[in-house]
């Protein structure tokens, strides 16, 4: 019996990137369905969230993400440009965001076509690995989409025609995310139980194994 869980995930989340490769391995090795539900980052949904954060929050985030990447053996660099544009002087996020809405809608479209996990894996590697300069320029994004089996130009055309519909579906996922038990990402919800954070994958697998999760032949 195939088990499945919802994955609430964001292109701006370093922890989402740090988890995704292991989810690809999980889907490859086990009889499990990963239902990708890409959401808008909390910095866009609640711009005041980080403005009121403790001053120690950001330095620890940077230390922990680089350390976690080293521990996992993953290349990591804070992206340039950041998928969510921020005014560092005021610690605020402008309403106009040139990258994140397109990325999120592309992820939603890929998920609807059964290519969600491959797409977020390839694109997050492009954005967060530091292997290219200017991930948003040239053919970088198109090539990442192609590695996931997607045609970026065709997808962008769909975004132009169905942008409002895709935005509405993403908004529904954000409601479901909170109903699942948390506001952050990456969040995995299995059988009504939330598993928040890249460090909860082992517990998710343990829970599913108790319900009969099997390795693929």
Share of the chain above pLDDT 70, in %: 98
DSSP string, 134-153: -TTSTTHHHHHHHHTT--HH
Q: Tell me the CATH number at 10.
A: 3.40.30.10
> Which residue range is the domain that position 162 belongs to?
3-210
Yes or no: say if 33 and 7 are a contact pair by the CB < 8 Å rule. Answer: no
* Any domain includes 196: yes
* Any domain includes 56: yes
Is the pTM higher than 0.85? The answer reads yes
- Say which residues have a Cβ less than 8 Å from residue 35's Cβ, sequence separation at least 6: 4, 5, 6, 7, 111
149: left (phi over 0), alpha (psi -120 to 50) or beta: left
* Any domain includes 216: no
**DSSP element (H, E) containing 13:** none
pLDDT of residue 129: 98
Yes or no: say if 105 and 160 are a contact pair by the CB < 8 Å rule. Answer: no
Q: How many domains does the chain have?
A: 1
Share of the chain above pLDDT 90, in %: 86
* Any domain includes 215: no
* Any domain includes 136: yes
More confident: 29 or 94: 29
Model confidence at 89: pLDDT above 70: no
Q: What is the pLDDT of residues 131-170, one digit of tens each?
A: 998 999 999 999 999 999 999 999 999 999 999 999 999 9
Evaluate the CA torsion angle 84, 87, 92, 94 in order and state its sign. negative
């Amino acid at each position: 019996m195939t088990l499945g869980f919802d994955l609430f995930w964001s292109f701006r989340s370093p922890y989402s990137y740090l988890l995704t490769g292991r989810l690809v391995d999980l889907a490859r090795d086990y009889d499990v369905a990963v239902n990708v539900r890409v959401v808008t980052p909390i910095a866009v949904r609640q711009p005041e969230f980080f403005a009121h954060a403790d001053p120690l929050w950001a330095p620890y985030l940077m230390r922990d993400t680089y350390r976690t990447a080293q521990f996992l053996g993953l290349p990591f660099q804070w992206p340039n440009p950041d998928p969510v544009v921020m005014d560092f002087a005021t610690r605020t996020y402008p309403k106009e965001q040139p990258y994140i809405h397109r990325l999120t809608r592309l992820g939603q479209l890929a998920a609807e076509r059964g290519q969600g996990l491959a797409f977020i894996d390839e694109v997050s590697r492009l954005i967060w690995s530091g292997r290219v300069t200017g991930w948003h320029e040239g053919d970088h994004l198109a090539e990442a989409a192609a590695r996931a089996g997607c045609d970026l130009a065709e997808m962008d055309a769909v975004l132009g025609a169905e942008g409002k519909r895709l935005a509405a579906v993403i908004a529904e996922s954000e409601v479901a995310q909170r109903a699942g038990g948390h506001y952050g990402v990456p969040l995995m919800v299995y059988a009504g139980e939330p598993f928040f954070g890249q460090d909860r994958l082992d517990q998710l697998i343990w829970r599913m194994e108790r319900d009969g999760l099997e390795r693929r032949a």
